[in-house]
């Protein structure tokens, strides 16, 4: 019914839709120069022109340029080159997998040409799709859809594909009927599909067993059927069954002498708790007196640091960062008490005891130049003084090239990289500090080399305001 309503609505909407005239189609197509542009930017008009017939389509698109189809890579190659390319593979399956376009090109040339060009390859037939007969033969080996899906996923997926994508309901019904017949022939499945097992039948089946564990292992269906009747019924029909008592743990079955021998293998209570946690818990559950009695031969180690312990450890360091790196466990205990237990007082004591790292004032230009003068290369400078090197780089990025050049002009380094267009303004500001070209070259050697890499035109354009008293060699 729903499909019928959709069909009627679709027909009414199609009939009431305003039709585009031939002249309107001509007008829309006249905006484009090539057929490709028409299809790309106004595909609806292209389709409408096609529906008017081939004669109309050829007439309205006669002024559009048809771009020729480019020859494929393979058609431009000689047979020797093709064979050389093909023989890189060991078999036809590898050729089809890794060079599908070449494989299709050979196939379109015909069977004889394909065999001639691939005669040096091992023939491996591609895996074909399962036919309906193949799917039925495979499904006959299983009893249900779940067994088929886990036992042979490819056959199960092929069946679903034929049913959902191709509409092959007949094959689906055959498999369903096959599985339903097997269920009816299975006595266990018949037993499960009965209307209901009587109470007397459940009692008779349960009486065969002596213990509850044997019932669960031997007749699980009767066990669950009794469970479904309710707690009173289940306890009534299973009252004669022996419930196995809970077994003793390894520790509760040992004498105190054996326990002490086991405990005294450890040097302290911390190692006992770490390597034998179940034994440690067993002793703790027995009470403090029993625990102290059994572990009197072990060294006592507190599991957590007390506030006094944390303060004593923190007093051994000069700053908070040293304390954090020097004793991570004490720092973690401090943060645990602060964040989990809300002990802000202890944290304030430690912070007041350990001043934070002193923040140094910013380096002056003279200090930066003096520190940089100690290093012969830019690489050694950047490794030994990373903070000052980063300051220089940031100043250079902001346009302060003079400081960078003054600090590093004595250093040996590789040829400077070519300057970018966005650095021109900062270059001009440096050049404006000099009157003649010779002074500029002597004081700014690295900048001079970088400028030369941009070429003579750019170089002379930047230095045209300087007195040209230096012979630049290109």
Rg of the chain over Cα atoms, rounded to whole angstroms, equals 45
Any idea what DSSP says for residue 303?
A: S
Give one DSSP letter per residue of 49-87, joined into a string.
Answer: HHHT-HHHHHHHTTTSBPPPPPPPTTTTS-HHHHHHHHT
State phi, psi for 135 to the nearest 5 degrees.
-65, -40
Q: Among 42-46, 387-391, 395-399, whose mean pLDDT is lowest?
A: 395-399
What is the structure's pLDDT at 195? 42
Contact by Cβ (8 Å): 172, 163: yes
Largest CA distance in the chain: 122
What is the structure's pLDDT at 187? 43
Could you read off the pLDDT of 377-396 as tens digits, one per residue?
878 888 888 888 888 888 87
Closest of 219, 180, 184 to residue 202, by C-alpha = 219
Q: Take residue 38 and report the two structure tokens written for it.
A: 């028409």
Closest of 70, 69, 117 to residue 89, by C-alpha = 117
Helix (H, G, I), strand (E, B) or coil at 162: helix
CB-count burial class (<10 Å; 0-12, 13-18, 19+) for 472: middle
What is the structure's pLDDT at 11? 58
Q: Which long-range contacts (CB under 8 A, 24 or more apart) does 295-298 make?
A: 295/263, 295/269, 297/260, 297/263, 297/264, 298/263, 298/264, 298/266, 298/267, 298/268, 298/269, 298/272
Cβ neighbour number for residue 146 with a 10 Å cutoff: 11
Look-up of token digits 């022939």: 185
Please state, in angstroms and rounded to a whole number, the distance separating the CA atoms of residues 408 and 267.
Answer: 61
Strands annotated E in 184-278: none
What is the structure's pLDDT at 189? 41
CB-count burial class (<10 Å; 0-12, 13-18, 19+) for 241: middle
Higher pLDDT, 100 or 74: 100
Q: Among 10-19, 193-202, 262-271, 360-369, whose mean pLDDT is lowest?
A: 10-19
Within 8 A by CB and 6+ apart from 57, the residues are 49, 50
Angle at 466 (CA atoms; ends 460, 471), nearest 5 degrees: 60
Mean pLDDT computed over 93-115: 86
Mean pLDDT computed over 168-190: 68
Contact by Cβ (8 Å): 60, 29: yes
- pLDDT exceeds cutoff 80 at 216: yes
What is the structure's pLDDT at 413? 59
Q: Among 253-267, 316-330, 361-375, 411-425, whose mean pLDDT is lowest?
A: 411-425
Please state, in angstroms and rounded to a whole number, the distance separating the CA atoms of residues 400 and 154.
Answer: 69
Average pLDDT of the chain? 79
What is the structure's pLDDT at 193? 39
- pLDDT exceeds cutoff 60 at 246: no
- pLDDT exceeds cutoff 50 at 152: yes
Closest of 356, 334, 330 to residue 347, by C-alpha = 334
- pLDDT exceeds cutoff 50 at 176: yes
Cβ neighbour number for residue 235 with a 10 Å cutoff: 10
Please state, in angstroms and rounded to a whole number, the distance separating the CA atoms of residues 258 and 256.
Answer: 5
Q: Take residue 380 and report the two structure tokens written for it.
A: 């050694």
Please state, in angstroms and rounded to a whole number, the distance separating the CA atoms of residues 343 and 334.
Answer: 9
Classify each residue of 435-459 as buried b or exposed e, where b means 16 or more C-beta atoms within 10 Å of its C-beta: eebeebbebbebbbebbbebeeeeb
Instruction: Return the bridge partners of 122, or none.
Output: 91
The enclosing H or E element of 200 equals helix 199-206
The overall pTM is greater than 0.85 = no
pLDDT band at 127 (very low <50, low <70, confident <90, very high): low
């Amino acid at each position: 019914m729903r499909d019928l309503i959709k069909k009627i609505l679709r027909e009414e909407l199609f009939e009431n839709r305003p039709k585009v005239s031939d002249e309107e189609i001509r007008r829309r197509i006249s905006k484009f120069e090539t057929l490709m542009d028409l299809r790309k930017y106004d595909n609806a008009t292209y389709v409408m022109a096609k529906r008017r017939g081939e004669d109309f389509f050829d007439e309205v698109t006669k002024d559009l340029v048809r771009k020729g189809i480019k020859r494929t890579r393979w058609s431009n190659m000689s047979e020797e080159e093709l064979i050389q390319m093909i023989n890189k593979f060991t078999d036809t399956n590898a050729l089809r997998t890794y060079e599908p376009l070449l494989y299709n090109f050979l196939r379109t040339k015909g069977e004889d040409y394909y065999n001639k060009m691939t005669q040096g390859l091992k023939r491996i037939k591609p895996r074909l799709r399962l036919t309906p007969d193949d799917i039925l033969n495979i499904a006959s080996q299983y009893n249900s859809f779940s067994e088929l899906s886990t036992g042979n996923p490819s056959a199960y997926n092929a069946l679903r594909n034929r049913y959902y994508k191709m509409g092959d309901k007949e094959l689906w019904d055959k498999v369903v009927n096959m599985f339903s017949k097997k269920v009816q022939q299975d006595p266990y499945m018949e037993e499960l599909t009965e209307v209901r097992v009587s109470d007397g039948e459940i009692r008779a089946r349960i009486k065969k067993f002596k213990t509850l564990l044997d019932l669960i292992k031997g007749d699980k269906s009767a066990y669950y059927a009794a469970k479904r009747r309710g707690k009173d019924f289940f306890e009534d029909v299973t009252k004669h069954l022996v419930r196995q008592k809970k077994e003793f743990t390894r520790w509760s079955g040992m004498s105190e002498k054996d326990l002490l021998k086991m405990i005294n293998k450890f040097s302290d209570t911390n190692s006992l708790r770490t390597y034998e946690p179940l034994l440690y818990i067993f002793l703790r559950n027995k009470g403090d007196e029993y625990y102290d009695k059994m572990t009197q031969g072990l060294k006592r180690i507190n599991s957590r640091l007390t506030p006094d312990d944390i303060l004593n450890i923190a007093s051994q360091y000069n700053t908070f960062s040293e304390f954090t790196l020097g004793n991570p466990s004490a720092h973690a205990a401090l943060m645990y008490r602060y964040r989990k237990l809300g002990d802000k007082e202890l944290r304030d004591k430690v912070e007041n005891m350990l001043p934070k790292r002193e923040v140094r004032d910013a380096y002056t230009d003279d200090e930066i130049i003096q520190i940089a003068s100690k290093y012969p290369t830019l690489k050694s400078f950047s490794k030994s003084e990373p903070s000052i090197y980063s300051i220089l780089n940031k100043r250079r990025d902001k346009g302060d090239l003079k400081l960078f050049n003054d600090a590093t002009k004595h250093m040996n380094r590789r040829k400077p990289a070519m300057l970018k267009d966005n650095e021109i303004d900062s270059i001009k500001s440096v050049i404006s500090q000099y009157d003649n070209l010779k002074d500029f070259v002597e004081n700014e050697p690295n900048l001079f080399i970088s400028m030369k890499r941009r070429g003579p035109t750019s170089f002379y354009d930047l230095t045209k305001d300087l007195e040209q008293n230096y012979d630049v060699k290109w």
